[in-house]
Structure 1
């Protein structure tokens, strides 16, 4: 039967795979597979080239994830390889996708046979069916092992043990698999417990505890084969403080995949009680815990400001000062109960004039020595009115005219847009045909590698340009509703900045997309595409007629010729 195929006329590749997955650790090693593949080749008088003895360490559970296997598939499709030697069919595939690709290549006549150490799969209905069954069986084994692992993990959780590496302060038992327990790490348990107790006093921050743990206690992680044995990290200390395991419970999935609470086994000593754990979370101010205070964001410019000196974020704070009614001294109110100069007791607003200030300044996290200065909210309001409002505010009449003009332009674009897109699609099809001819010429040896790479780079660049043009179709102008919303806002922007609430200012800045940069107490503004374009058009119109004022354009256009004189300029853009 084997004589039906002349193996000497077939180019073979030996594919040898060792999975890194736990469930395949007992599989034959890669080098042992190579030895068996060479033995098979010698037995069948196959000339196996060294360049086609392939090794890979990847799981075959998912299709398309193995680079070397994908290379074998491509070589078969190009006719460079017609046969595969492997230890077992499951080395090639443990999923339906890759098995189906190999069978398809057999159907196309590109793959003549697959030779394993036990049998040969040829391009016959029976052999192809047997190969598919063998791969399907390997997939079923994988799926069953996955279910068994999940069931085992859930069982261990029910027993009250974490099915994972032990937390710092504890250690894993090295007893019989499936019955391993969590034990005390005699060296680290008292140290971690002491850190938790110190944090509960409320006298130490996490950073201070970290310094104590590293410098005074010498707390290190458990040394393992490749990791561990180093000083505990700050992030690891944060995780330990908020970990409920130290209080006697943890969360995990049950047999049905639902996350539920599990109690730690009674044999595992607790470091803190559950009430102490809740107190730790409260001290850490975790989001799911009630706080003693609620922060209200009353600073409209905070998220739209950046520090120009160090590139860091900007924060804001409120200052309350009082001018004493008796001695006229100005001082920070804070929690003071009396004037620091004359000693008169403060009994409320009647004791003097109260001044409220909102200051913005760099958080100095990126650069603690950042030279940036603070700036008051009133100064930002003034800057915004002078540099944004005065340049972008429009009258209702100008808003209506602009929106009507955009509608006309949109209808015009719809009329000609289809032809433009068709033209770009034709150009893309021509470029794709060029790529096909280039690849064919390279395979047939008509051009060398350098010429191929040079032309291929040019084609890729041209393709990217065309695809960008096609992708941009329909997005060159903003959605008309969004534009109307922005124009409505620009008719009221002056009143919002000068008299609006913090919420109204924040909404206005978000809609307009304006961002501010604070550099040495000097502000600069960056507007989005819409505002920048509109500002440019207004500048061009004002250069044509200096008397044109967008904010004062009248509703009755017959009253003045100023707007009529600049309308053609604005339409041209």
Structure 2
């Protein structure tokens, strides 16, 4: 009597509805074996996809066949070939492997004698049809997901700070969930300020009640869903892009982009500088007064301590104490006071470069105010339903308590936003003063920032002399802003035009104002020199803002 293993596989509710339920398959297979006088050795149930043969029950079956020769059946029976596999390539390989053990797979509803060559054509049709059906279903799902994302719908697990809601038509969407939404807003605001490391902000949020892991927190900061966007991945011939989501953003887009900029900047590697660099801050900027070669610097061991010198590498022998040079250079910086017309111009440039901060703060305050108004409306609506008898008093009290708690939290957040706005206005005044306080700005800056500032104000090849005059070592833009005159020729790239990272129309207006200021002084100015001066003021504004 021939023996058989019965293989029963089902993977979805849809298959069960179509008649592929495990009970239905087992009943038909048992009747087939009874009518054909086949002994059933074992019944194997599988609840897994047929895309591959990497299935738990099938893997165990195959292992049993390989290890125990005495337990091998003559047949492995299933209802249809799509119960066996939905991948033609894998199916042919598995059939050959089973036949090597003298075991023959067979579908009782699609019987085929595989010893007949022509039947292999029919088998190919059965297998290819199942595989094509599976591929079509997979493609339809992918297209549906892609279409939903294009429409701005969130289709996966809602991100922290959101929960699923239902529209009147029954369609799902995500809406803010408190108190997590407030934690998210606060986290983005703190990161954007750039005053605390990200790990410090995470610990602060955890101490206030945020429940998430460190890795989850980092993913949250990179998720554009919080500014109302949905990522639409690359699909077919389309590139990845952000679609406008139908959900309510927790933060403005400008704040999200600011946070990305802060995170990207923190990821950059910076070189560490030792104490000798602090003692030789001007090294690499100045040139020898004797041979015009670039000066270097080094320490010389004295009786009690090290003494630092700037010196030439050529045989000319030029050498000067670094501390004396620094003292003289600082005395020259203290003397610098920006010319009033340029001070007024710098105020306007600062407002232009910092306008995104003020816009961001305004949007945050507006968003919070609107959220508070919606909560108040919810309380009023609940009160109206209570009076109409549609909800119980206990339900009303729960709604009121929840809304009042959220209003209180948002009120504190609104106060903090207002305070930040006041701080930015105060900072604006301090930033204007820094244009005439280069020595103080230099003193409080870090070593890399000191070198950035030096690169910004010095000419291309300043000569280091014992009687240093600031007008002989700075570039042409600094001469104009501080109304200085050079007693020697300053070599600078007069014909080079620096790039300006700002609006072209705005730049044209400022360049015209620079030309007007210089004409009133009786100085001739070219469009290139005026553009370079604007570039200097813009770069100085960004530098001063970053170091505030």
Q: TM-score, normalised by structure 1?
A: 0.43
In terms of fraction of residues, the more helix-rich structure is 2
Q: TM-score, normalised by structure 2?
A: 0.44
